């Protein structure tokens, strides 16, 4: 079974600075999908960014980018120019192509933005 590990329960960063959240996963599959979701206090899980394992190019969405290291099974999220609205729980998630839409989540990282 696949597992996802987020080793940083909490992180904090000054507004406008850059922060990187770590995620590692364990799988024997060669093809899969990785996601970062954020969950603000409003509870709704919001997709931040996604990466297909077969793509070597790292995904980027505006201020959010990933560093995908397939051999190391690492999938970190970099947030540039941090904003107060970025404060949330961030979850890394794995999806197997064989598992329909099932997501396997990490334990989450709580990100605090200091003004």
Partner 1 sequence: KAGVTQTPRYLIKTRGQQVTLSCSPISGHRSVSWYQQTPGQGLQFLFEYFSETQRNKGNFPGRFSGRQFSNSRSEMNVSTLELGDSALYLCASSLGTGGAYSNQPQHFGDGTRLSIL
Kind of pairing between the strands at 46-52 and 74-79: unpaired
Min separation Cβ 47 and partner 1, Å: 5
Locus of tokens 């970025």: 86
Q: Using CB atoms within 10 Å of the CB of residue 111, give its burial: 0 to 12 exposed, 13 to 18 middle, 19+ buried.
A: buried
Q: Does 40 bind partner 1 (CB under 8 A)?
A: no
Residue span binding partner 1 (CB under 8 A) among the ranges 13-21, 60-68, 72-80, 99-107:
99-107
Residue span binding partner 1 (CB under 8 A) among the ranges 16-24, 35-43, 59-67, 75-83:
35-43
Which pair of tokens denotes residue 30?
A: 């060669």
Q: Does 107 bind partner 1 (CB under 8 A)?
A: yes
- Partners of residue 52 on adjacent β-strands: 33
- Site size toward partner 1 (CB under 8 A) is 24
């Amino acid at each position: 079974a696949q597992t996802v590990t987020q080793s940083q329960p909490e992180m904090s960063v000054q507004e406008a600075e850059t922060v990187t959240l770590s995620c590692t996963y364990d799988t024997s599959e060669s093809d899969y999908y990785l996601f970062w979701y954020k969950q603000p206090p409003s509870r709704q899980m919001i997709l931040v960014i996604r990466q297909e394992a077969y793509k070597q190019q790292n995904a980027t969405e505006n201020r959010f980018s990933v560093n995908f290291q397939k051999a190391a099974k690492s999938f970190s999220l970099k947030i540039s120019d941090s904003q107060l609205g970025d404060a949330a729980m961030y979850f890394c998630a794995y999806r197997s192509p064989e598992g329909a839409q099932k997501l396997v989540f990490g334990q989450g990282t709580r990100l605090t933005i200091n003004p």
